[in-house]
A = this chain, B = another copy of it.
């Protein structure tokens, strides 16, 4: 699981900071999450292969999470894309993008599908044989979802020594990988656990931005390996966090602790702070395993 932060600062793009966008690589799929202005330049800068992106998830329709999308969609056209592109985001996203394409008489030459979200409950929005994506309803000034990316459990690993010593025919191997026991010709049952190892634990990533402190997301994200949670403010500006429906670093850490996540990654820092290290210090008073997102930073989990 590889996470590349293209941008993780609040509000508007600046010379040295970018608004929210990140790329999650999971089971050879590449998911783009949010798309602030300038995302396509960040993708180029970090040498991410545009063509591998087939699914884009947009948390909400504030400009700093969304205004890079029209340009990215247009660029895919210029690059001669033929593959389907799927966009997941709040209702209204289809109208906005199609209006912009219509005004520029610039329809895509590839199929563009919009999956508009309206539910206030967590729902499954994407699924293939290896990965599923569910929404995480958040609480912000406009309708907002986080996204939970979960690997599905993989096949069990064959214990080659065991199957050889029992003299099991290769015809049974797939069944064993699928978790089934083996019935020998003499009627003896060999339990699966004698013949295979557990698959690696499926990994999971929860993206939660933007949101006020919302403890009722805890059951949805419980036990995820990595939680990216916004921390726009420090506790000293808690009043601003309440007013603007954002979180403080402390609040992000409280969520991480309650949900017993593996690692908390902080981001969406207000640009008022000179150093982001204060966010880590504040969060670590509550929860130990804290990482700071920063533009261009790449995490492997």
Contacts and interface: CB of A to CB of B under 8 A. Distances in A.
Given A13-B41, A40-B37, A70 B78 contact: no
Contacts of A96: 99-100, 103
B71 A103 contact: no
Interface stretch (A60-68, A166-174, A275-283): A60-68
Given A40-B37, A67-B71, A71-B67, A99 B104 contact: no
Contacts of A78: 11-12
A263 to B, nearest CB: 30
Interface in A4-31: 11-15
A63 B67 contact: no
A185 interface: no
Contacts of A68: 37
A70 B67 contact: yes
Given A11-B78, A41-B13, A61 B141 contact: no
A71 B105 contact: no
Contacts of A63: 70-71, 74, 100, 104, 106
A111 interface: no
A12 B141 contact: no
Interface of A: 11-15, 37-38, 40-41, 44-45, 60-64, 66-68, 70-71, 74-75, 78, 90, 92-93, 95-96, 99-100, 103-106, 141-142
